[in-house]
Structure 1
Amino acid sequence: MNRRIRKVAVLGSGVMGSRIACHFANIGVEVMLLDMVPTELSPQEEKKGLTIQDRSVRNRIVNMHLDNTVKSKPSPIFSRSVLNLIKTGNFEDDMRDIESADWVIEAVIERLDIKKKIFEQVEQYRKKGTLITSNTSGIPIRHMAEGRSEDFRKHFCGTHFFNPPRYLRLLEIIPTEETDKELVSFLMDYGDRFLGKTTVLCKDTPAFIGNRIGVYAMLAMSHLVEHFDLSVEETDKYTGPILGRPKSGTFRTADVVGLDTLANVAKGLYENASDDEAKDIFKLPSYLQQMIDKNWLGEKSEQGFYKKIKKEGKSEILSLDLETLEYGPQEKVKSETLEAAKGVEDMRKRMKIFDAGTDKAATLFRAAHYPLFEYVSKRVPEISDELYRIDDAMRAGFGWELGPFEIWDALGVKEVVSNIENSERLLPGQSGKVAQWVYDMLESGNDSFYQIDDEGRKYYDKNTGSYQIIPGSEELLVLNDLRRNHTIWENKGVSIIDLGDGVLNAEIHTKMNTVDGDVIRGINKAIDLAEKDYRGLVIGNDAANFSAGANIGMIFMLAVEQDYDELGMAVKAFQDTSMRIRYSSIPVVVAPFNLTLGGGCEFSMHADFIQLHAETYMGLVEFGVGVIPGGGGSKEMALRAANEFKEDQIVQNILKEKFLTVGQAKVSTSAVEAFELGYLEAGKYSITMNRSRLLADAKAKVIELDTAGYTPPVKRRVKVLGKQGLGIVYAGANSMKEGNYISEHDQLISEKLGWVMCGGDLSEPTEVSEQYLLDLERKEFLSLVATKKSLERIQFMLTKGKPLRN
């Protein structure tokens, strides 16, 4: 299907509509955002003498909603520049303009009558073949298309974005029986490649897949807490990151979502999922209903399961006693199972620790998961013919590291089936028996839901009784799947994995992927191997973050012991590695995502090419621990400034801009902003929207560079300003100090950075080598590490996890 999406019309500018519009603008698509015309003037409009016919009045609702969305946190936009792609309007004046749209997305209130009225208007103006979708979370898609033309019905389906659409990866595609199958394929691919989503094909069943399973799991937990007499903070601790779930756990997540929203979805499920054997799970526990009656709805009402108060000038977060419905201080949660699981990185092994435990945390784990396993087995084929779609939905929509079938696999399918049959039944709908297809699977000698072989990742297909490749997985590179048979070298910090087609990958796997001696050795070894026998190298991984920077614990230890020779050698090795990434004889592509700080940023800045995920938070943040960038970052920012110097400009202003980026430890909020801050160079980076495709895209770039006849770049000379630049740096730092905006130590760090970026006190602007700047950088880095206040900052970051301003 040769379909292009150049312009999208979003109808409805509320919480979801505005955010969907912003995300399409993020990827460069032109957007029309429309909403209702107000029925009367506001007091402010009356004061200005406006009438209901004034354009600003008629667009007041849509403009207000968009403005509120843009101000919200986390931001729905990659950069304010994308707002230029969004044009606002209203249903009465501008609906005719949807004829120019390639895709019309309805996102109005969840009422069938209103949606159908909107679609009547859409049908009047849309051009034939235009995509029409509804962002509904629960209304049957088939009902919305009733009464529409054949062409409308053929090009209509549901597209359920999870909120916030920029950050939550789940996009459910819900076709009707009449939806064109080619259109469904297009949406599945477009959502994946361009919107960066995990697209999950759903049946038109109540709440589709994500909310059907996710709300079941949340409400099951809300019933179990009463049985086990659990506190709010206990529940969230037992169901949070320790299980590979969001840090908000169960109840904090409910506060964020909104208890009224949760209740509405639950009510819809109870009323519409009439054949669901566990439908009584969707009845709210009494304490939850009482909270809703009191309008304690979570963040939107400033109290729910948690409530923030001010006490003696400090903020304190109280938790709710579910029995008395009174707020009190949170209590520390202790558990043997939690402690045992903490040190285990492998989530599958961690699940086994919980399943085998004997304390309250482990008992709750089994009481919640055994019914969940039973429940999801019985939803196949009701909500999905393929079990992997359920896992996809829970990972992408609810932030689970492992989906329910993946957890079940980790515990052993056969063993869990036996445990389910012999466990106490505490929740509605529990029968102690899983779906018959699971027994059939085990009886046929298949003992897992997933398998990995040389063809890729496969799932058990109950219809054929065999393992089938997960569609699309053959296009992805998953290091966990490759590690077993394709690792060619490893140490404690790095694994070098053969990605095939002559490309290696250096995977950092230290804690938070910090850069230490093992990582430096591993990166150099990977370059050695690639230069000898391969086409090129990717530096990338599948962890939560690309890299949190240098291992400051190692730096602190060497500095405290005053082993400055060893520390100097370590810093030089870091710099040399950055330069080797830059000047090796093979192409090196770095694939950053999420946190890419300090050393992770420096490695990226030296690469031949950066293939980065849209959600990359990149920055040189060394000021926060009392030092300047020491792995080539200070040198590189001086070089970036020099590249922008022009004869007819005041070059000191360009230097000042780059200096402040480092001096204020600016971190990008997106890949787009990383370019705007100067961490990326035009023509040397590309953005991957879907995190799952990042390594494959990076590998493809290595092959492209090699095929084009890669040759190492020529060593660069850098124009530095010497005393011309130092004057503005020192004056600026001094005025900030005099105004009490920075401390005396901040002033010292600023002057050290300025010294490096200006090339020292050269009498006039001069071209110097990169090595000249690296030597300055290393010397000033070491001089700062030797100061008491910088050591205090490093220690504070290590113990408190936040910067100290001393």
Structure 2
Amino acid sequence: MQTTLPKPQSEGWIPAAKNRSIRRVAVLGSGIMGSRIAAHFANIGVEVLLMDMVPNALTPAEEAKGLTLEKPAVRNRIVNDAFQNLLKASPAALYSPKFAQRITLGNFDDNLKEIGKHDWVIEVVVERLDIKKSLYERVEQYRKPGTLITSNTSGIPMHLLTEGRSEDFRRNFCGTHFFNPPRYLRLLEIIPGPDTDPAIIDFLMKYGDLYLGKTTVLCKDTPAFIANRLGIYAMIQTIRVAEEMGLTVEEVDKLTGPVVGRPKSGTFRLSDVVGLDTTANVAGNLLNVLTNDESKDTFQLPPVMQKLMENRWLGDKTGQGFYKKIKDEKGQSVILALDPKTFEYKPSEKVKFATLESTKSINDLKKRFSVLLAGQDKAGEFYRKTFADLFRYASLRIPEISDELYRIDAAITAGFGWQLGLFETWDAIGVRKGIELIESQGPKPAQWVYDMLEAGFESFYKVEGGIRKYYDIPTKSYKAIPGTEQFILLESLSNNIVWKNAGSALYDLGDGILNLEFRSKMNTMGAEVIEGIQKAISLAEKDFRGLVIGNESSEAYTAGANLATLFMFAIEQEFDEINLMIAQFQQTMMRARYSSIPVVGAPHSLALGGGCELNLHVDRVVAHSELYMGLVEVGVGLIPAGGGTKEMAARASDLYQTGDPELNILQSIFMNIATAKVSTSAQEAREMNYLLPSAQVVLNRNRLIAEAKQVAIELAENGYTQPKPRNDIKVQGKTGIALFKAGITAMRMGRYISDHDQKIAEKLAYVICGGDLSTPQTVSEQYLIDLEREAFLSLTGEKKTLERLQGLLNGGKPPRN
């Protein structure tokens, strides 16, 4: 597969780069970063040559086999071992295991000459200037003039890397800094060298966005670039404040996790995952090379980090760091947390602060910050100290590391998984209040912030005409963030809301397309969301020509149906109410299928249960590549009954060809539902038949709703015809039920499943096979939907199902009863 960069609609396109194609990529260095970068290029269909050094000594195992250093297996041992580790990586680096065949392995001595056939050479070897320069000298012997050559260095200056290289090498060279893991973290920093052709930078900025799915951030060639400069500063400064205040490891991770829109790993757990030595190396380099940074001493490791380094307690890679996992007397895993005062480990404890309790009902992250910073306990004090200093530091890095403030926010959010950047957070509490906060804690922020306010500008960002703009310091005006004109960001369309309730909102996207956004917690599908779907379709049929169902949630597209109401009815044995509720849910899903206008789903992240069922019924799906989709109802003692079981029976029927082993096809689909299997990517969702071949996969999440809108327009303009209900679904009847029952019984006898698991699986088999039919035959959708609802209803009367529902609703895992 070839990836050719199309001409974008935005200004700034440089013709010299428009015909550049990326068919083959050579990755030099097969360590964790190199192999994972190779995997991500394989994910998008590019052929990859992954290479590493030739070993200079045999291993004991190789000696025992009588091998020599000249044997191919030995010469490729380093890259082969790295590749095997890649295949076993968790989370997976590849969208599908079969994509591994797109990667060819080799070594620098035997295969470097092959880079002449490749369009892009990416160097990902150890962070040593001498080693990189030595490799470049060899690369220049074989590289075809005009091809891209880039480095994944995390901090070595570009001008040092290209010393002694040819003019063509220098013009086509720059930094392309991926963040680990490359598949999942969205940041790609692009760092020009002093001689880099501007057309190369333009090409890479757009290629990273369109094809690699990255937030591409143009960086200056400054120490640690943007993300690591701010991110490492934030980590070390947080640990220093925690030491000063006597906060525990668990307390700090709670305070710096999801409550402030950051990953649940918080600060100390993140350090363990990244590796303390990695953080220490970056900090040490910054401490040595920074000259004009007024806060460079912050990069000196706090005492607790120094002690851990001395002990070689580096985190996950050494089995202990700020946390340590052990087995208790019962063989259960127990997480221990480090006591920074005694350097002994103790059982991890629950954390509770009054300030955090006061924000539990505030779902809007931006509104939460004012409450957090006003807290009168240790949590509030911690937030005031850390945020004041981070705001100040970020303001003073302009124009040193970036001329534009939006690049700093883009880098920190995409590179470290924060929901809001530092200037976005500052905006959330108000720029003036932010200055007051900073001044109350110590040194002032940069003068340009005061100048901005004096000029009458009260925020770093604003929305005008649906376009998000940033404050441009040199011109003292607001400018559109480059590239975002091609995105549809619902947050910027608050003036386009045409209807809303407590759990959903409808936006006019323009061009006759309506968008439905879920707004409930985890976007679960309760009564308000069902009402929203019905309202959206009714309004679209009346006044629009198409509907997109999409949102910008960082947590989930939807975690499925809201089970609280179901549980309440089940406890009270209100089976008529349950029957009515499920019937309404089914009717809503069917309406998404049989409306008079095209309905396009735009799922991303979690699309579970009812969320999966909704996207089984829409006319077309435009999915983000990171899609974790599945029918998971069996896990809580139920079966899919929003048309999910019916639809998968229909999809199995559509797969049948003359001579096909039909029961084998159906069994694969049955097992996915019976084991509550969730896809690990959009590609796997396609392989599991949750996505049809017509589904479109988008790598850049920011482009998802815009792409879905375009598909809705195309469907509307190409003569969309309202579908008719099906009556041609082939089911297997008693033959299929007997096969499944035999397998289920064997699983029960082997004690792989419980009695209740067996009961649920047999009901699922009954429905997906079309019930008690004497022979395979065709049935209607309505027939299967009625079977679904009947089976679902019967399971809600089971005590063990109620126990599973209660376990989930209480915040834990459903018991395997």
* TM-score normalized by the length of structure 1: 0.98
In 1, distance between residues paired with 2:805 and 2:378? 38
Match of 2:780 among 769, 774, 782: 769
* Correspondence for 1:546: 557
Equivalent residue pairs, number? 797
| Number of the residue aligned with 2:361 | 343
C-alpha separation in 2, matches of 1:627 and 1:95:
56
Alpha-carbon distance in 1 for matches of 2:75, 2:102: 20
Is the Cα–Cα contact under 8 Å of residues 583 and 712 in structure 1 kept in the other structure?
yes
Instruction: Verify: 1:648 aligned to 2:659, yes or no.
Output: yes
> Could you tell me which residue of structure 2 aligns to residue 428 of structure 1?
none
CA contact (8 A) 2:384 2:437 kept: no
Task: Report the 3-state secondary structure (helix = DSSP H, G, I; strand = E; otherwise coil) of the residue aligned with 2:21.
Answer: coil
Q: Which amino acid aligns with 2:283?
A: A
User: In the alignment, does 2:331 pair up with 1:321?
Assistant: no
Residue 743 (str. 1) matches residue 751 (str. 2): no
- Aligned-residue offset at 1:647: 2.5
Q: 1:564 aligns with which of 560, 564, 575?
A: 575
1:794 aligns with 2:805: yes
Amino acid at match of 2:587: D
Deviations 1:157-187 (A, max 9, x none): 0010010111111110000121111110111
The whole-number CA distance in structure 2 between the counterparts of 1:126 and 1:670 is: 35
Aligned pairs for 1:605-684 within 5 A:
605-683=616-694
Contact 2:205/2:218, CA 8 A, preserved across alignment: yes
Matched, 1:706 2:723: no
User: Quick check: 1:722–1:760 contact (8 Å CA) kept in 2?
Assistant: yes
- Structure 2 distance, partners of 1:760, 1:236, is 52
1:409-434 Cα shifts (integer Å, max 9, x gaps)? 111112221332232x4xxxxxx221
Structure 1 partner of 2:8: none
Q: Is the 8 A contact 1:517 1:570 kept in 2?
A: no
How far apart, in 2, do the equivalents of 1:224 and 1:362 lie?
Answer: 13
* Corresponding residue to 1:157 among 174, 183, 192: 174
Whether the 8 Å CA contact 2:803–2:814 is kept in 1: the answer is no
The one of 591, 606, 615 equivalent to 1:604 is: 615
Q: State the 4+ residue runs in structure 1 displaced beyond 4 angstroms.
A: none
Q: Name the stretch that deviates more: 41-50 or 153-162.
A: 41-50
1:417 to 435, 438, 444: 435
Instruction: Look up the equivalent residue of 1:418 and give its one-letter code.
Output: E
Q: Measure, in 1, the Cα distance between the counterparts of 2:693 and 2:426.
A: 46
Whether 1:578 and 2:595 are equivalent positions in the alignment is no
| CA 455–569 in structure 1, closer or farther in 2 if over 3 Å, else same | closer
- Residue 271 (structure 2) aligns with: 254
| 1:490 alignment partner AA | K
Aligned to 2:116: 99
Compute the displacement of 1:585 (Å). Answer: 1.0
Query: 1:46, 1:284 → 2: CA distance?
Result: 44
Alignment check: 8 A CA contact 2:633 2:639 kept: yes
Aligned to 1:429: none
| 1:455–1:469 Cα contact (<8 Å) kept | no
Q: Please point out which of 69, 73, 90 is paired with 1:73.
A: 90
Shift of residue 783, structure 1, vs aligned partner? 0.7
Q: 1:595 aligns with which of 585, 592, 606?
A: 606
SS at match of 1:357: coil
8 Å Cα contact 2:188/2:214 also seen in 1: yes
Question: Match for residue 207 of structure 1?
Answer: 224
Three-state SS of the structure 1 residue aligned to 2:363 is coil
Quote how far apart the aligned CAs of 1:51 are.
Answer: 2.0
SS at match of 2:358: helix
Aligned runs of 1:430-579 on 2, under 5 Å?
432-454=443-465, 456-482=467-493, 484-543=494-553, 544-579=555-590
Equivalence map 1:48-63=2 (5 Å): 48-63=65-80
The superposition leaves residues 627-686 of structure 1 with CA deviations (integer Å, 9 ceiling, x where unpaired) of 110100000111111112223122111111111111111100000000111111112x01
Distance 1:220 1:625 in 2: 43
User: Contact between 2:177 and 2:189, CA under 8 Å: does it hold in 1?
Assistant: yes
Give 1:617's aligned amino acid. Answer: Y
Match 2:379 to one of 338, 361, 365: 361
Q: Which consecutive residues of structure 1, in runs of 5 or more, have no partner in the other structure? A: 426-431
> Does the 8 Å contact 1:210/1:393 carry over to 2?
yes
Deviation at 1:46, TM superposition (A): 2.2
The question of whether the paired residues in 2 share the 8 Å contact of 1:605 and 1:636 is answered with yes
SS of 1:414's partner is helix
Distance 1:749 1:334 in 2: 39
User: What residue is the counterpart of 2:370 in the other structure?
Assistant: 352
Partner-residue secondary structure (3-state), 1:687: strand
Q: What one-letter code is carried by the residue in structure 1 that aligns with 2:403? A: D
Kindly report which structure 2 residues correspond to 1:258-297, keeping only aligned pairs within 5 A, or say none.
Answer: 258-297=275-314
- 2:151 aligns with 134
| Deviation at residue 285 of structure 1 after TM alignment | 1.2
8 Å Cα contact 1:624-1:804 kept in structure 2: no
What is the DSSP-based 3-state SS (H/G/I as helix, E as strand, rest coil) of the residue aligned with 1:636? helix
**Amino acid paired to 1:677:** M
- 1:22 corresponds to 2:32: no
Contact 2:158–2:194, Cα closer than 8 Å, also in 1: no
Query: In structure 2, how many angstroms separate the alpha carbons of the residues matched to 1:160 and 1:692?
Result: 20
One-letter amino acid of the structure 2 residue matched with residue 797 of structure 1: L
Secondary structure of the structure 2 residue equivalent to 1:749: helix
Residue 245 of structure 1 aligns to a residue whose secondary structure is coil
- Cα distance in 1 for residues equivalent to 2:333 and 2:784: 45
Q: What's the CA shift for 1:455?
A: 5.0
Secondary structure in structure 2 of the residue aligned to 1:489:
strand
| Contact in 1 for aligned 2:608/2:630 (Cα 8 Å) | yes
Query: Equivalent residue of 1:341, what SS?
Result: coil
Asked if the contact 2:466–2:492 (Cα under 8 Å) also holds between the matched residues in 1, the reply is no
Q: Choose the corresponding residue for 1:145, options 156, 162, 185.
A: 162
| Secondary structure, aligned partner of 1:167 | coil
8 Å Cα contact 1:406/1:449 also seen in 2: yes
- CA RMSD, aligned part only? 1.0
Counterpart in 2 of 1:690? 700
Instruction: Tell me which of 783, 788, 795 is aligned to 2:794.
Output: 783
Q: Secondary structure at the match of 1:309?
A: strand
Q: Is the 8 Å Cα contact of residues 409 and 449 (structure 1) preserved in structure 2?
A: yes
Q: What corresponds to 2:139 in structure 1?
A: 122
Q: Which moved more, 1:298-307 or 1:454-463?
A: 454-463
Distance across 2 between alignment mates of 1:200 and 1:538: 29
Percent of pairs with identical residues:
58
